[in-house]
Structure 1
Amino acid sequence: MGISAELGPATEVALPGGRIRYHETGAGPTVVFVHGALVNADLWRKVVPGVAAAGYRCLTPDWPLGAHSIPVPGLDLSPTALADLIGSFLEQLDLTDVTLVANDTGGALTQILLTRRPERVGRVVLTSCDCYDNFLPAPFNAMSLLARVPGSMRPLLELTRVKAVLRSPLGFGWLAKRPVPPEIVDSYLRPGRASGAIRKDLRRFLKAIHSRYTLEAATHFPEVRQPVLLAWAREDKVFPRAHAERLRDELPNATLTYIDDSYTFIPEDQPELLTQRILEFTRLHAAP
């Protein structure tokens, strides 16, 4: 459950297989944000206000990736199904010419969406994210193996109460260059700590992750026609710059820009710079 008022009021929408909560603020062309695993809409709390103030309608869903508040026991949580869920969200709200802004695991899902249901997407901003054979990246790929053990998610989430673990490579230490505020950490981890149903969703999601999904999506990159901005953290510890350069070369209409003084969570570490890049990109590629 997002806690930041800057994201706007929360609304629920029924999608095939379950309901999700999203936040909305602003008016104008639509921007939809896609976070990654074990975070929620709060990841975008420092980016949304600037984008909305520039004349955009900002929608920030809590995707069912482990930090959501509405369990989805009837939903297929494989990467292709989650990519289709994003497509269903756009369809249900009758959104067209959408700008998608994605980070981390959400970037992998967005790549899959682009190769399956691209018709409502106008342009894409991929910040540092999973791709190719790096889904999940080390050291987080261990979580996919751990998820095969029944009951493993509760001790994993409880372990993050230890500050040293939270700031380690197994926590947020390699994702955010600076400590994530405690209330935001709580927003991310409280749902899974408090709800067995959310932990079951998280476990199903982690078990389903495999690089075959991103590698398959990459075979269809030549078919992608949407403009893509790759806003990559120059110092990223889990998503190599070589992958950003490969994405730039293989996506037909892609541009690469590097963000300094940031790790993977660019919306956390450099929100002003990211907001600026998003606005420059959307204006450059605005619908005629």
Structure 2
Amino acid sequence: MNEIELSTGVLQYVDSGDGPVVVLLHGLLMDASLWDGVIADLRSDHRCIAPTLPFGAHRRRMNDGADLSLRGIADLVLEFLDRLDLQDVVLVGNDTGGAVAQLVLGAEPKRVAKAVLASCEAFDNLPPGLTGRVLALSGQLSPRLFGAFMQQLRLKAVRRSPLAFGTLTKRGDATTAQWIRPLLEQPELRAETVRMLRAVFADRDLLTEAAADLRRFDRPALVVWAADDRVMPTEHGRRLAELLPQANFFEVADSYTLIPLDQPGEFAGLIRALCASAGR
């Protein structure tokens, strides 16, 4: 795991392979391991960079006062790209990582060569579904009570329930069990995660207002949606594809929201095909 000191704190990231640069963004209570299967496929001919964002499964506490809102995280991603001198990247976002990617595309469309938005929050779907609403409510707890709530996720039956990761992935329980470990083992992260959840869900209209800016990204894009998604409406995926001037829409069968866990090979193939397509 690599580390880089940014203005808001230390960010850990995976950097593997050589070739066109693919930057991969994960969602809430996840880390860069969401992309392990995709990276294993792509790294033979692509440079894959996956930061662990301060979304609750990170292991390095951010600086006091760090902006942990969705816009703040988008700014963090842009600073990360600057510091690594990454130009014309293929930006890929799944779940809340896709929401962050939308904000990056709207803010600085020329920084990205191609984009993939995969089963993610969009428009008024914030918080998304029952899982998102539970997270938003848990963020209103004190750090101590939030920690007690997270302790329940030690149990597989709870992790696999619709209240947690049960409607997000069909096959990725072993990975989700690892994601919750930092919060269980590092008490100093609990207060930060509570603050992050409150900031992320503070502006329920953010993505609706940001959607219009997606028209500025006039470069090749792909909107990938899980055919069995129970959290992110398929209609939202089609609307995103209509907003992006050069986007195509594709559905992935036999997958919930976290396509990189449920169908990593197919998802990697879609990214590879986009990278190889004509257009800057």
- Residue from 195, 211, 221 that aligns with 1:204: 195
Matching residue's letter, 1:21: Q
State the AA in 1 paired with 2:204.
Answer: S
Cα offset, 1:286, TM superposition: 5.7
8 Å Cα contact 1:99/1:124 also seen in 2: yes
CA contact (8 A) 1:167 1:179 kept: no
Q: Are 1:95 and 2:60 counterparts?
A: no
Which structure 2 segments of 5+ residues have no match? none
Report the alpha carbon displacement of residue 11 of structure 1 after superposing the two structures with TM: 1.1
Distance in structure 2 (CA, Å) of the matches to 1:11 and 1:286? 31
Which residue is equivalent to 2:101? 110
Amino acid at match of 2:231: V
What is the distance in 2 between the residues matched to 1:145 and 1:63? 21
Q: Deviations over 1:117-154 (max 9, x none)?
A: 33321111111111110022121223213312212320
Distance, in Å, in 2 between the alignment partners of 1:147 and 1:265 is 22
Return the letter of the residue paired with 1:147.
Answer: G
> Any idea what SS the aligned residue of 1:47 has?
helix
Normalised by the size of structure 2, how large is the TM-score?
0.94
Q: Does residue 1:270 correspond to 2:260, yes or no?
A: no
Residue deviations 1:77-131, cap 9 Å, x none? 0111100111110001000000111110110011011111333211111111111
SS in 1 for 2:10: strand
Asked if 1 retains the 8 angstrom alpha-carbon contact of 2:218 and 2:246, the reply is yes
Shift of 1:212: 1.7
Local SS of the residue matching 1:131 = coil
Aligned to 1:149: 141
Q: Counterpart in 2 of 1:63? A: 53
Count of matched residue positions in the alignment of Structure 1 and Structure 2? 275
SS in 1 for 2:157: helix
Task: Please identify runs of 4+ aligned residues in structure 1 that moved more than 6 A.
Answer: none
User: Which is helix-richer, 1 or 2?
Assistant: 2
Shift of 1:198: 1.6
Q: Distance in 2 between matches of 1:186 and 1:167?
A: 10
Q: Please, what TM-score do these two structures have when normalized by structure 1?
A: 0.92
177, 183, 188: which one pairs with 2:170? 177
For the structure 1 residues 243 and 15, does the alpha-carbon distance in structure 2 shift closer, same or farther, using more than 3 Å as the test? same
Superposed counterparts of 1:1-288, under 5 Å: 10-53=1-44, 55-74=45-64, 75-139=66-130, 140-151=132-143, 152-181=145-174, 184-208=175-199, 209=201, 210-285=203-278, 287=280
Following superposition, the deviation at residue 197 of structure 1 comes to 2.2
In the TM superposition, residue 258 of structure 1 has moved relative to its aligned partner by 0.4
Which piece of structure 1 moves more, 81-90 or 66-75? Answer: 66-75
- Compute the displacement of 1:195 (Å): 1.4
**Whole-Å separation in 2 of the counterparts to 1:285 and 1:150:** 51
Listed as ranges, the gaps of 5+ residues in structure 1 are 1-9
Deviates more, 1:200-209 or 1:43-52: 200-209
RMSD: 1.3
Structure 2 Cα separation of the partners of residues 101 and 221 of structure 1: 15
